Structures are given as structure tokens and as C-alpha cells.
Amino acid sequence: MISYREPTRQELTVLRRSFNHWGIFDYVLDKEILLNERKLNGSKIKEVYLTTKDNFKMILESASLSHIGMLIGHMKRRSFVPSMAGADLIARVGVNFPFVKVNQAAEALVLYGRDIMHGSILDHGNLDKNSTILIILNENRVPIGLGITTVSIGKSFLHKRIVIKTIVDAGYYLRNERWTR
Amino acid sequence: MIGRFLEYMPDAEKCLAIMESPSITYIRTNTLKIDPDSLLSLLDARNIELGSTEFPEVYRVVHTSLPIGATPEYLAGLYYIQDLSSCIAVEELDISSNQLNMDMACAPGGKTTFMAQKMSNSGAIFAIEYNRRRLPSVIFNLSRCGVLNTSLYNFDARSAGSLNMQFDRVLLDAPCTCEGIISKDKTRKTSHDPSDIEESSRRQLELLLEATKVVKPGGLIIYSTCSFAPEENEVVIDELLKVLGNTIVIEPVRHGLPGLTHFGDRRFHSSLSHTARLYPHLHNTVGFFIAKLRVC
């Protein structure tokens, strides 16, 4: 069961700032943002859902409600981290979002949750600082995961080092037969 | 089962032979994310050969050396593996943007995601799935396909009428004995007996009656099953007509063979010929039945 609520003003400010960072601020303007608080491994997380205005009007608050629109990410303290579906949305409609584009060999590894070596990166953009969360794209710009930089990847001497840790990957769906949020 | 097939199935022996071999795989482009030509190019680069169908967004898989359900493009929701018959059922709903629509038995979400695609992710879909264990597959597919306009509920759709809601379109792909998918699941040959068909038929009529309560006047209901059994198809529609009379009009389905107008000693309403039967050996689909019902 899912029990949603609309974000508070403070939460909305955090989310809008994040949406601006990911380049989807304008896209979400005519949509409804909803939060669902639940416990995961003992700690409380806030799931962030995006849906159409029409769907929002039609939602029945009922014990049978199992899912709304798209789970685009989670709020952690004062930040927003996209889910795989959120990463996919950003890759399609976002502008100027942080990304790396990887080669085919790395694509296969990322889909098994493996990290990315410097030499596998074909292109990158909008990575201003270390520990930047980014979208991992394959050669055809299809989103395959979400990662975080471990070091500044612009430095050429890092050639044989892991520079991006994979946080979520699209293969996760298949590896977990009993898929949940 | 074979004796029954001979009663109403054209060229039943050929059909049975076809069902012993693997069925054709189709994929539907998820146009919420990519256009059909671009998908064709991406999969061609992976040596996946596709053939066209009568629907521009649906391809037939001619050859693949990769599992079609494990490519990065599949994981990214650029396409959905879906039989042509299921695509036809959604096509017949005449869906457009900004409608309020219902899917009464939605798992695993193939038709729901196609409906969302036809609606360009606008309006709203009220999706119901009674089997709790099947909810994760629906959520997975809705997420993978980038669907925004759907809410998923876990209850028995036989109480949908009590919601006091009205929808433009209602899809009832009813739970059935699945005789039509023997080529995909050989256990379907022996997994049911006549009492199961009877029970299934009773439940299907209950669901369909409920569908008529939630559709707006002038709205459409698509009733479909992946069964050949007349008891789960024409008999259900004929019973519905007996209960509701002139308030339901059966509109012609643009594909398949006409539905049966008699079975054994039973004669059905003549408009049952507007329903459609799809056969593996004639239409390159799984066995399928579709009725398009306009509510006055």
C-alpha cells in the first residue's frame, strides 16, 4: 500500500532546486508531485512520484492503492536522488544534466552493476565537482544507469582507475525477479 | 479439448500443429520514448532483424542472437514484447489523449502501457490487478515504459461499480483458461477441465457487467480473452446482451474472423458476428477473442 501526500513548501523548494539541476524544471511544471514516506532498512525515506494532473484528481485514497504515476526518485535530507525511471526521464527531457557516455564493453558491465573505468568513457558533461551524481548513457545515449564520480574524471593520469561508481543500473530490474520499488 | 476445437475452429488440425511450434515474437515500439524507425536502427546495430506488421509501431522479430527481453533498449523501455493480438485489442479501444480510462485486469501491464502510449501520457488510467503477486511486474513495466498517467490498485474488479466513477474507455482482458497460448505454455493443454471453463465464464460475465457500470454513456468497452472456448467468449457477450438488451451495441472489430453465432445447439444474437476471433494459423497471433461494446 502507498500513502501519498503533497510536498510541504520546504520540500517543494528542495525538489525544485534539484529539478533545475537535472534540467527538468519546466517539464514538471504542469504535473503533480507526490511524496510517500516509508521505511527502508530501518531508516525513513521519502519517495517522490510524478503524475499527470488528471490522474492526481482521480486517485482514490484507499488501502488498495499500490502505485501512482512514476517513482522518479527519493528525497534524502535536503537533496533529491533520481531513481532509474527518474534517470531515464532526465535523459529524455532534461537539459544540461550531468552525464557520462560509455563504450559497449562498459555498457555490459554497468548492466551488471559494475563500476566504470576512466578508459571506458567516451564523453561526459556538466561534471563540475567530485561526488557528482550523473546519468550513465550508452553509445546511443540510451540511459543505462546512475553513477557518482569518485574523482575528477578530467585528469588523464587516471586512465586505469575506477572513476565512477554505479549506484543504480537498468539491469537491476532483471536481476531481481521479485521487483519492488 | 481437441474434440471441442473441431466443432468451431476452421482447419483445426493446422492450428494444433502450429501451436506445437514456438509462436512468433512481436515487439511494440514505446513511442513515449522513441519512434519506430529509430528503434529499428538501434536493434539492427545489435543484429536483431525485425519485420514490419500492419501497425507501424509493432515489429515481428525475424532473427535475434540475443534474448529480446534483456537488451539495454528493452531495459530502457524502448519497446515492449507483446503479441499482435494484444495490440489489436488496444487499437480497437479508439483511445485518444486526455481520456479517463480503466484497465480492469492489468497485469503484467502490456496493454496498460500501450494505452498510456496511445494517450501520449495524458489524462488518466485507473488500473486494477486483483492478484497481489502480479503487482511488481506491473510496477516494473509502468516504470520501464515511462508511464506517468496511471494509478494501480489491488482489488477485485468485480466491485469496480461501487467506485462511483465513470470512464471513457474500459479494457477488460479477462482472466481465462488461456487455451489460446498453448504455443507459449504447453501446460495449458492439460491444466483445466470443463468445470474450470464454466467457473471462468461465470466470473467473466460478472466482470463484464461491472465494466458496464463504470463506462460513460457513449463510451467503449473492449472485452478480450486468450481463449478459444465459446463459453468464455460469445456465450459471455450473449448473456450480457440478454441482461442489458438494447443498452449495448456490438461494434465490428476490424481484424480476425467473425465471432460464432451458434455453438452446439445454442444460437447467439446475430450481432455476435461483429466480434472477432484470431487464430495462430490464420492471423499469426496467439488464439484470441475480442468484442467491442458501445454503451448507449
Residue from the list B75, B123, B138 with its beta carbon closest to the beta carbon of A174: B75
Instruction: Answer whether A92 sits within 8 Å of B45, measured CB to CB.
Output: no
What pLDDT was estimated at residue A114? 95
Task: Tell me the domain boundaries of chain B.
Answer: 2-22+92-295, 24-82
pLDDT in tens, chain A (181 residues): 678 999 999 999 999 999 999 999 999 999 999 999 988 888 889 999 999 999 999 998 887 999 999 999 999 878 899 999 999 999 999 999 999 999 999 999 999 999 999 899 999 998 877 788 999 999 999 999 999 998 876 665 566 677 899 999 999 877 765 544 4
Phi first, then psi, for residue B64 (nearest 5°) are -150, 140
Please state, in angstroms and rounded to a whole number, the distance separating the CA atoms of residues B169 and B125.
Answer: 9
C-alpha–C-alpha distance, residues B180 and A157, integer Å: 61
What is the pTM assigned to this prediction? 0.94
- Alpha-carbon distances of B69 from A6, A170, B24, B25, B65, rounded to whole Å: 36, 12, 14, 11, 12
Interface check B87 vs A, CB under 8 A: no
Pick the CATH number of A4-92 from 3.40.50.1100, 3.10.450.220, 3.40.50.720, 1.20.120.550: 3.10.450.220
Grid coordinates representing A77? 535530507
Q: Nearest by CB to B143, from A55, A66, A71: name it.
A: A71
Residues of chain B positioned with their CB less than 8 A from the CB of A55: 123-125, 148-151
Contact status of B40 with chain A (Cβ, < 8 Å) = no
Query: What 3-state DSSP class applies to A57?
Result: helix
- The CATH superfamily label for domain B24-82 reads Sun protein; domain 3 (3.30.70.1170)
Specify the CATH number of the domain A98-175.
Answer: 2.30.130.10
Stretch(es) of chain A classified as CATH 2.30.130.10: 98-175
> What is residue B190's predicted lDDT score, i.e. its pLDDT?
67
Q: Which of A110, A67, A69 is nearest to A86 (CA)?
A: A69
Which regions of chain A carry the CATH code 3.10.450.220? 4-92
List C-alpha distances in Å: B282 to A51, A87, B62, B184: 41, 43, 18, 17
Looking at residue A162, what is its pLDDT?
A: 76
Structure-block grid coordinates of residue B178: 488461456
Rounded distance, CA B211 to CA B170, Å? 7
Long-range contacts of A153-156 (CB under 8 A, 24+ apart): A153/A100, A153/A118, A153/A121, A153/A124, A153/A127, A154/A127
Cβ of B72 and A142 within 8 Å? yes
The per-residue pLDDT string of chain B (296 residues; one tens digit each, 9 = 90 and over) reads 677 888 889 999 999 899 888 889 999 999 999 999 999 999 999 999 999 999 999 999 999 999 999 999 999 999 999 999 999 999 999 999 999 999 999 999 999 999 999 999 999 999 999 999 999 999 999 999 999 999 999 999 999 999 999 999 999 999 999 888 877 776 766 666 778 899 999 999 999 999 999 999 999 999 999 999 999 999 999 999 999 998 999 999 999 999 999 999 999 999 999 999 999 999 999 999 999 999 99
Angle between helices B84-91 and B110-118 (to 10 degrees): 40
In eight-state DSSP terms, residue B238 is H
Note the CATH architecture for domain B2-22+92-295: 3-Layer(aba) Sandwich (3.40)
Chain A closest-CA separation from residue B100 CA (Å) = 8
Spatial strand order of the sheet with A121-125 comes to A116-117, A162-169, A143-149, A133-137, A99-102, A121-125
**B149-175: per-residue pLDDT in tens?**
999 999 999 999 999 999 999 999 999
**Chain A: which residues have CB within 8 Å of chain B?**
31, 50-52, 54-55, 57-60, 62, 64-71, 83-85, 88-89, 92, 107, 111, 138, 140, 142-144, 170-171, 173-174, 178-181
- ipTM for the predicted complex comes to 0.92
